């Protein structure tokens, strides 16, 4: 289980109005700004631009029965 660092928690606690936590990537929270920009909360508490890619299931995968 990954835990947030004290700096990440402090960063999340002081997010400006309109910022929303929308997910987690590699153990770091992902925040969406009011303008739609995605930011990752790094372990040192800094915000860094990021993008999210959803995992998709290949349509070529077949079930064997």
Beta 28-32 vs 47-49: how paired, if at all? unpaired
Place of tokens 């079930």: 63
The helix/strand count (H/E) of the chain reads as: 1, 4
pTM score, two decimals?
A: 0.73
- Residue numbers of the chain with a pLDDT score lower than 70: 1-2, 52-65
pLDDT of residue 22: 93
Residue spans of the domains in the chain: they are: 6-49
- Please report, for residues 6, 7, 9, 41, the alpha-carbon distance to residue 3 in angstroms, rounded to integers and kept in the order given: 9, 12, 10, 13
Q: Which residues contact 5 (CB under 8 A, 6 or more apart)?
A: 43, 44, 45
């Amino acid at each position: 289980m990954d835990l947030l660092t004290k700096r990440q928690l402090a960063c999340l606690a002081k997010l400006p109005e309109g910022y929303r936590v929308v997910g987690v990537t590699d153990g770091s929270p992902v925040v969406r700004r009011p303008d739609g920009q995605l930011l990752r909360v790094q372990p040192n508490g800094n915000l860094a631009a990021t993008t999210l890619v959803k995992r998709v299931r290949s349509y070529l995968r077949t079930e064997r029965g």
